[in-house]
């Protein structure tokens, strides 16, 4: 048995007997702190297993070392970018970051559905705010110790900001964060901020994206660069609305679309319905998203042709899942829930599995 297999089995035992019996949000913070502390080791041992294995991807004017990245939500405050890169992620998307700091929704707000290899969250964009995160990213860049991982920055609306003031809120985040981002993502698809998903309607989305694009250009002019801009959409949009977003992205010169965010659907779950009901509201991520996220990716690629970068996320667990998403039209992939369930060697398994064909 390989060292990787032994380590994987050890993580499975740890997850089953410790993590799965512990408050998910508490264990997330503890495990993330341990990953950050172990960065020198993981970079040499784990990340080294990925280096040189994956095929580089050139898209949006950027070079990604391979297709797989970490989705937004894991590192909300940009505290562990390089530790996560050390595990072998080719890109790390931080956030969601809001214009103002906010504590998020009341706890408990993070739940596991282990029978479905899924997570339900209603975190509510808990983060330290754009000003704090901007300073942290600036300090990282000037430290001389930052990795060369591709950095995405995901921005969303502050909860207390009224919908008619949302554009100004996004503009504030953009001004502060775009200068530090390799690419920027407008998140209008989390189900945990009241009214946020309403911004996916094309008549509201167009002025928002145009404003963010203009503010990003203004903020990065001194660097002489153009930061790619993407929008992240929900799997719960109707097919017609998905195609409308695709048409809008082409019309206004967006660089890409991330498909998909979490779902509010609870259809087809293996978990005890009473447990699902007790958990209540929130966005569902993990294996149950696989089919719908794949469908959305096929629709988007069929609509936009080769003109946009598409990032596939949602229910990608195995190398075959990754292959299917790429075959459906994704340029890049992201994961989050599988990383939680499968452990720190998961990025290496996906990238190595893709390399083997």
123 labeled binding residue: yes
75 labeled binding residue: yes
DSSP code for 102: B
Q: Are strands 118-121 and 110-113 parallel, antiparallel or unpaired?
A: antiparallel
33 vs 27: CA distance, rounded Å? 10
Do residues 129 and 49 touch, judged by C-beta distance below 8 A? Answer: no
Token digits for 39? 């960065």
Spell out the residues 6+ positions from residue 228 whose beta carbon is closer than 8 angstroms to its own.
60, 61, 62, 182, 183, 184, 255, 256, 309
286 labeled binding residue: yes
231 vs 233: CA distance, rounded Å? 6
3-state secondary structure 324-354: HHHHCCCCEEEECHHHHHHCCCHHHHHHHHH
* Partners of residue 255 on adjacent β-strands: none
Per-residue pLDDT, 1: 47
114 labeled binding residue: no
Q: Are strands 118-121 and 283-286 parallel, antiparallel or unpaired?
A: antiparallel
59 labeled binding residue: no
Q: 154 by DSSP, 3-state: which?
A: strand
Q: Does domain 3-356 fall into CATH 3.20.20.70?
A: yes
Per-residue pLDDT, 38: 87
Q: How far is CA 298 from CA 294, 304, 352, in A?
A: 6, 10, 24
211 labeled binding residue: no
**pTM strictly above 0.85:** yes
187 labeled binding residue: yes
DSSP code for 264: -
101 phi and psi, to 5 degrees?
-65, 150
311 vs 94: CA distance, rounded Å? 15
Among the options 190, 265, 271, 277, which is catalytic?
190
Which of 199, 209, 115 lies closest to 164, judged by CA?
199
268 labeled binding residue: no
Per-residue pLDDT, 104: 98
For 308-324, letters b (16+ CB in 10 Å) and e give bbbbbbbbbbbbebbbb
Do residues 90 and 65 touch, judged by C-beta distance below 8 A? Answer: yes
73 labeled binding residue: yes
Predicted confidence pLDDT, tens digits, the chain (357 residues): 455 566 667 777 777 767 777 899 999 999 999 999 988 777 655 556 566 788 999 999 999 999 999 999 999 999 999 999 999 999 999 999 999 999 999 999 999 999 999 999 999 999 999 999 999 999 999 999 899 999 999 999 999 999 999 999 999 999 999 999 999 999 999 998 989 899 999 999 999 999 999 999 999 988 899 999 999 999 999 999 999 999 999 999 999 999 999 999 999 999 999 999 999 999 999 999 999 999 999 999 999 999 999 999 999 999 999 999 999 999 999 999 999 999 999 999 999 999 997
Domain ranges, ordered by start, for the chain: 3-356
Q: Are strands 150-156 and 183-187 parallel, antiparallel or unpaired?
A: parallel
Per-residue pLDDT, 158: 98
User: Scanning the structure block, which residue is given the tokens 């949009």?
Assistant: 237
189 a catalytic residue: no
């Amino acid at each position: 048995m390989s060292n990787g297999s032994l380590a994987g089995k050890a993580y499975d035992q740890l997850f089953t007997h410790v993590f799965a019996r512990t408050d998910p949000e508490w264990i997330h913070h503890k495990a993330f702190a341990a990953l950050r502390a172990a960065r020198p080791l993981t970079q040499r041992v784990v990340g080294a297993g990925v280096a040189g294995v994956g095929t580089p991807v050139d898209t949006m004017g950027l070079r990604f070392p391979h297709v797989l990245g970490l989705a937004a939500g894991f590192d909300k405050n940009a505290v562990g970018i390089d530790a996560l890169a050390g595990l072998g992620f080719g890109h790390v998307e931080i956030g969601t970051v809001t214009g103002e700091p906010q504590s998020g929704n009341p706890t408990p707000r993070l739940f596991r559905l282990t029978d479905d290899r899924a997570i339900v969250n209603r975190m509510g964009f808990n983060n330290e705010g754009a000003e704090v995160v901007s300073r942290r990213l600036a300090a990282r860049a000037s430290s001389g110790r930052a990795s060369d991982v591709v950095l995405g920055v995901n921005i969303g609306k502050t909860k207390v900001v009224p919908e008619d003031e949302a554009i100004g809120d996004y503009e504030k985040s953009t001004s502060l964060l775009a200068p530090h981002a390799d690419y920027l993502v407008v998140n209008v698809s989390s189900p945990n901020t009241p009214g946020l998903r309403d911004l996916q309607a094309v008549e509201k989305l167009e002025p928002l994206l145009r404003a963010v694009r203009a503010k990003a250009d203004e903020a990065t002019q001194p660097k002489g660069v153009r930061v790619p801009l993407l929008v992240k959409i929900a799997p719960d949009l109707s097919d017609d609305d998905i195609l409308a977003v695709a048409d809008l992205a082409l019309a206004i010169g967006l660089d890409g679309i991330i498909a998909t965010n979490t779902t509010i659907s609870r259809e087809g779950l293996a978990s005890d319905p009473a447990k699902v009901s007790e958990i209540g509201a929130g966005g569902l991520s993990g294996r149950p998203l696989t089919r719908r996220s794949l469908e959305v990716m096929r629709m988007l690629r069929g609509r936009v042709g080769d003109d946009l970068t598409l990032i596939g996320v949602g229910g990608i667990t195995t190398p075959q899942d990754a292959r299917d998403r790429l075959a459906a039209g994704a340029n890049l992939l992201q994961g989050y829930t599988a990383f939680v369930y499968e452990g720190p060697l998961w990025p290496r398994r996906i990238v190595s599995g893709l390399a083997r064909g």
